[in-house]
């Protein structure tokens, strides 16, 4: 089978890849000339300088523009694009974008976007989550030049939107922006390796019919997100049919009335936002809950201790419940600092209490009867399709698995090119950007770098 040649192959089809496809198709961002001062005065002055005022950000020096920027991303260009699209968002303000987008068909770069499902990446699988809201404001979930507020009537009223609305928005974005022709859906990449004979990356995979595909390219982009491997408890009984690992499955249980106020409680395991979403969704339907988590509720590392209370009242309400000793009469009972030890086929679960375990080595255990167990203890990327010799060198820490926080892929922060593999780029959670607001900066960095490379060849 012959390989198809592409200038760029993007693996993954979530918000990262969609934004990159938009820019590679020739849609370039410009700073709006006619606006009043951007709240970031230094940035504003750099962008209105006579030498760059008519240039797109794709043609500018991103290192100079992003110098001194600070915020909630470790990646400089992610901060830059975010400050231009959502000025002062870190203060919870919804300011209009300071960018306008122009289309240059002659700047388009031949590329393909390969993803396991429909466009939307992780969001596509959240299509059924109609009641759970985004953590971020709805406008922070949007992609360049298509306001979610204009697109979705629901958002005209609500500051946050449902996960399912976001999934639909991303799918419609690809349609509205005429990007569908670049997308290869229901397709899985099984191998990425560098072929030294042709000096290109070789990408292999198969589609949903089982048909194989092959691409050759000088540039491959990993935009594979953080959701392909679910963290598991690793305890006996975890594979029993009443043990679930996703919010989607909970929504289905609720929709089919398999859990209700009169059933045995659901055991929700975990202390992240997904576990909190599960608590909110289940309590909304008055389903009784036992909520077990390893940490102390006051642990500063808990996400609830980092979210501003005025913006996330429902998460703070869950956190208050987690701090209370027992609220069994209200249908919610917290088991802080407890770990699941065993899940039995008769739906009994044994949990071990970790309080004091470090000092005394003494533990106590509890046994509870449940209807279902919902394990929501995080996810991690799956990059096993990248050739082993390459993969083990990609992270900041060599020979260790890639993790969003502790071991992101090591990149040049202005180009998003790997520090060890020229022509291999990365964006999104695998380089530590976990919010849609920030993943889009990777698209600018990569488009800018490819443009500079092309100029140097002219
Ligand atoms: C429940 C939940 C709620 C969230 N809420 C928010 C929020 O409110 N605000 C916010 O900003 N962020 C939120 N996030 C985080 C957000 O989803 C991610 O930051 C974002 O989706 C990352 O985009 P991405 O394109 O990099 O990756 P993804 O959206 O994860 O897309 C990557 C896609 O690549 C696919 N893929 C992986 N390997 C291969 C392969 N070998 N072949 C083909 N395809 C492959 C994956 O299956 C996946 O579909 C939330 C995440 C979750 C799970």
- Residue 327 pLDDT exceeds 60: no
* pLDDT attached to residue 309: 77
Ligand 1 closest atom vs CA 190: 41
Mean pLDDT of 59-84: 95
CA of 247 to the centre of ligand 1 (A): 15
**Is there an atom of ligand 1 within 6 Å of 134 CB?**
yes
Q: What domains lie within the chain, and their CATH numbers?
A: 4-227+380-457 (3.50.50.60), 232-377 (3.50.50.60)
* pLDDT attached to residue 315: 87
CA dist., res. 221 & res. 259, Å (int): 42
CA dist., res. 126 & res. 393, Å (int): 32
Mean pLDDT over the full length of the chain: 91
Mean pLDDT of 313-323: 89
**Is there an atom of ligand 1 within 6 Å of 121 CB?**
yes
**Is there an atom of ligand 1 within 6 Å of 148 CB?**
no
* pLDDT attached to residue 269: 97
More confident call, 305 vs 35: 305
* pLDDT attached to residue 439: 97
**Is there an atom of ligand 1 within 6 Å of 189 CB?**
yes
Best of 224, 245, 248 to mutate for ligand 1, by most ligand atoms within 8 A of CB? 224
**Is there an atom of ligand 1 within 6 Å of 144 CB?**
no
Q: Are 251 and 129 in contact (CB under 8 A)?
A: yes
* pLDDT attached to residue 156: 56
Helix (H) or strand (E) holding 9, with range, is strand 8-11
Using CA atoms, how far residue 4 sits from 17, 26, 112, 179, 202, in Å, is 20, 22, 10, 19, 10
**Is there an atom of ligand 1 within 6 Å of 12 CB?**
yes
pLDDT tens readout for residues 346-394? 999 999 987 755 555 567 889 999 999 999 999 999 999 999 999 999 9
- Residue 86 pLDDT exceeds 70: yes
Q: Are 138 and 148 in contact (CB under 8 A)?
A: yes
**Is there an atom of ligand 1 within 6 Å of 227 CB?**
yes
Q: Whose CA is nearest to atom 34 of ligand 1?
A: 12
pLDDT tens readout for residues 176-200? 999 999 999 999 999 999 999 999 9
CA of 15 to the centre of ligand 1 (A): 7
* pLDDT attached to residue 362: 62
**C-alpha dihedral sign at 404, 408, 413, 415:** negative
**Is there an atom of ligand 1 within 6 Å of 122 CB?**
yes
CA of 225 to the centre of ligand 1 (A): 5
* pLDDT attached to residue 279: 93
**Is there an atom of ligand 1 within 6 Å of 135 CB?**
yes
**Is there an atom of ligand 1 within 6 Å of 14 CB?**
yes
* pLDDT attached to residue 329: 61
Give the up-direction half-sphere exposure of residue 122: CA atoms within 13 A in the CB hemisphere. 21
CA of 126 to the centre of ligand 1 (A): 10
**Is there an atom of ligand 1 within 6 Å of 100 CB?**
no
Q: How does residue 310 score in pLDDT terms, banded at 50, 70 and 90?
A: confident
**Is there an atom of ligand 1 within 6 Å of 215 CB?**
no
CA-based radius of gyration for the chain: 23
What's the token pair of residue 322? Answer: 């987690």
Best of 23, 72, 121, 408 to mutate for ligand 1, by most ligand atoms within 8 A of CB? 121
CA of 381 to the centre of ligand 1 (A): 10
CA dist., res. 16 & res. 264, Å (int): 41
Most confidently modeled of 89-103, 206-220, 245-259?
206-220
**Is there an atom of ligand 1 within 6 Å of 445 CB?**
no
* Per-residue exposure over 20-57, b if at least 16 CB sit within 10 Å of its own CB, e if not: bbbbbbbbbbbbeeeeeebebeebbebbeeeebeeebb
CA of 129 to the centre of ligand 1 (A): 15
């Amino acid at each position: 089978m012959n390989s198809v040649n592409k200038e760029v192959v993007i693996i993954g089809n979530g918000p990262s890849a969609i934004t990159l496809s938009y820019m590679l198709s020739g849609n370039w961002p410009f700073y709006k000339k006619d606006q009043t001062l951007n709240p970031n005065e230094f940035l504003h002055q750099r962008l209105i300088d006579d030498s760059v005022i008519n240039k797109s950000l794709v043609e500018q020096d991103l290192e100079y523009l992003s110098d001194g920027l600070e915020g909630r991303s470790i990646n400089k260009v992610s901060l830059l694009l975010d400050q231009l699209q959502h000025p002062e968002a870190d203060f919870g303000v919804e300011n209009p974008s300071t960018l306008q987008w122009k289309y240059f068909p002659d700047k388009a770069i031949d590329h393909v976007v390969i993803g396991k499902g429909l466009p939307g990446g992780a969001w596509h699988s959240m299509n059924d989550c109609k009641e759970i809201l985004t953590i971020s404001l709805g406008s922070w979930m949007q992609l360049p030049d298509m306001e979610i507020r204009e697109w979705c009537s629901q958002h005209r009223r609500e500051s946050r939107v449902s996960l399912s609305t976001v999934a639909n928005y991303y799918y419609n974005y690809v349609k509205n922006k005429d990007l569908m022709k670049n997308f290869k859906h229901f397709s899985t990449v099984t191998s990425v390796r560098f072929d030294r004979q042709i000096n290109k990356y070789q990408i292999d995979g198969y589609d949903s019919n089982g048909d194989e595909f092959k691409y050759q390219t000088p540039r491959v982009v990993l935009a594979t997100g953080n959701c392909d491997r679910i963290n598991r408890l690793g305890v006996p009984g975890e594979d029993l049919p009443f043990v679930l690992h996703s919010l989607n499955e909970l929504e289905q249980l609720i929709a089919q009335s398999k859990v209700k106020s009169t059933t045995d409680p659901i055991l929700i395991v975990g202390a992240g936002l997904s576990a909190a979403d599960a608590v909110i969704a289940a309590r909304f339907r008055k389903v009784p809950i036992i909520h077990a988590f390893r940490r102390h509720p006051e642990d500063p590392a808990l996400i609830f201790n980092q979210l501003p209370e005025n913006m996330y009242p429902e998460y703070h309400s869950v956190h208050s419940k987690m701090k209370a000793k027992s609220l069994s009469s209200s249908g919610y009972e917290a088991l802080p600092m407890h770990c699941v030890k065993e899940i039995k086929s008769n739906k009994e679960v044994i949990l071990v209490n970790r309080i004091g375990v470090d000092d005394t080595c003494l533990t106590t255990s509890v046994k509870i009867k449940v209807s279902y167990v919902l394990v929501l203890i995080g996810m991690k990327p799956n990059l096993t399709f990248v050739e082993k010799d390459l993969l083990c060198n990609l992270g900041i820490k060599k020979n260790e698995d890639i993790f969003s926080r502790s071991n992101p892929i090591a990149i040049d922060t202005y180009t998003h090119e790997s520090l060890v593999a020229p022509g291999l780029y990365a964006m999104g959670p695998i380089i530590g950007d976990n919010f849609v607001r920030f993943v889009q900066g990777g698209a600018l960095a990569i488009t800018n770098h490819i443009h500079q490379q092309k100029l140097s060849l002219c």
